[in-house]
Structure formats: C-alpha cells, structure tokens
C-alpha cells in the first residue's frame, strides 16, 4: 500500500466531533450543571444547629461529597470518549482491511498500530494514547485505583493522574484526551480517503 504525503486533517467539522459531543460531552455538561445546582441548593437549605457549632466542617463535607460526584461524571465521560474513539478507529481500519483474517477484535492501541503501519508518515504516535487507555481501564476494571493487577503483571497510571493512590482526572485532562483523539481521527480519516481515491477513483456524487 502506498503512503501519502497529505498529513493535515480537513478544516470542516469532523463527524467524530459531532458523535462525541452528542453522545458524551453534552451529557457531561448537563450532569455537571445538575450537580452544581444540587450542591448550591443543599448549601442554601442548611440551617445551623442551635448549639452554634461551626458550619464550616459541614460545608467541607458537603463540598467533598459533590466533588466526588463531579469526578465520577468526568471519569465516565472519558470512558465514553475512548469507546467512541475505538468505534471510529475500527470504522476507518475496516475501510482498508484487505483480508478477512485482519478483522479480528483489536483493542484501541492495536487499531492505531494497524493504521500507522499502513500510513507510516502520518504524525500519530500510538504509544502516546496508552495513558488514556490506562485511565479508562483503571475506571472500569480497578475502581479508579492508581495500580492494579492485570494477568500476571501490574498496571499503573502516570503520576500526573494519581492522588493519594487513586485516579485524579480533571476536565482539562478530558479536554486534552479528546483533542488528541480528534487529531488522530482527522489525520487517519484523511489518509483513508486518499487511499480510497487512489484505489477506487473519486467518489460518485448523485445530484437531484
């Protein structure tokens, strides 16, 4: 298979963006807004006890409670983003697979390696996505722990995602993850389209 020089993603909105925003990010925004509203309402409804005990410990406990809900929402959003990313990688890879025995179930990193093997000049480094896969697996397989047993070995998160032995993943981390995945999908989609044009010719557009 030929490798193409075209290495810049198209300027128009990518369907991956629309997919992730509709399925994952809009839901996260609504959930975070609801958590903030509930937190504010509970603070407003608090009535100090008659014995005059300082209310700050209660507000601290309340803040911790809602911070936990926010973290859980962001973690689940990362799982959703990775899931959609995997779906799109499979979709792109299937468009260029040439034999049936190449279609076995691959994980995210395997699909990235497959696409990279076909489009070597594409500026995507599969190894850079391992950190996001580790975070996803910590959430769904290890109760958001920093280290966990996997088969005969041990897996662990990068120090930047660890706080007191547990996963600490922020909205800015989620934005970074989404951005890196969006760039990868855009680059590979562009390459796949160029490959299809070379192999099959330009797409036929039917006009009414």
- 């005990």: which residue's tokens? 53
Rounded distance between C-alpha atoms, residue 198 and residue 194, angstroms: 6
**Would strands 153-156 and 147-150 be described as parallel, antiparallel, or unpaired?**
antiparallel
Average pLDDT over residues 146-164: 93
Q: Is pLDDT above 50 for 3? A: no
Q: Express each pLDDT in 90-108 by its tens digit.
A: 999 999 987 655 656 689 9
Question: Is 73 within 8 Å of 35 (Cβ atoms)?
Answer: yes
Q: Which helix (H) or strand (E) holds 155?
A: strand 153-156
Find all residues with CB under 8 Å of 137, minimum gap 6, and list them: 150, 155
């Amino acid at each position: 298979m030929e490798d193409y020089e075209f290495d810049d993603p198209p300027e128009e909105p990518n369907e991956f963006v629309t997919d992730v925003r509709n399925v994952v990010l809009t839901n996260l925004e609504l959930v975070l807004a609801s958590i903030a509203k509930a937190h504010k309402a509970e603070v407003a409804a608090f009535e100090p006890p008659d014995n005059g005990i300082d209310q700050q410990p209660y507000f601290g406990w309340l803040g911790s409670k809602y911070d936990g809900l926010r973290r859980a929402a962001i973690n689940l959003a990362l799982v959703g983003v990775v899931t959609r990313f995997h779906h799109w990688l499979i979709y792109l890879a299937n468009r260029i697979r040439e034999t049936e025995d190449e279609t076995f179930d691959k994980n995210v990193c395997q699909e990235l390696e497959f696409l990279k093997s076909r489009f070597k000049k594409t500026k995507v480094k599969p190894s850079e996505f391992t950190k996001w896969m580790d975070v996803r697996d910590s959430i769904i397989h290890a109760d958001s722990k920093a280290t966990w047993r996997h088969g005969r070995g041990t897996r662990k998160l990068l120090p930047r995602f660890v706080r007191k032995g547990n996963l600490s993943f922020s909205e800015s981390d989620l934005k970074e993850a989404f951005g890196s995945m969006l760039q990868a999908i855009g680059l590979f989609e562009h390459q796949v389209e160029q490959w299809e044009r070379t192999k099959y010719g330009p797409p036929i557009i039917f006009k009414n």
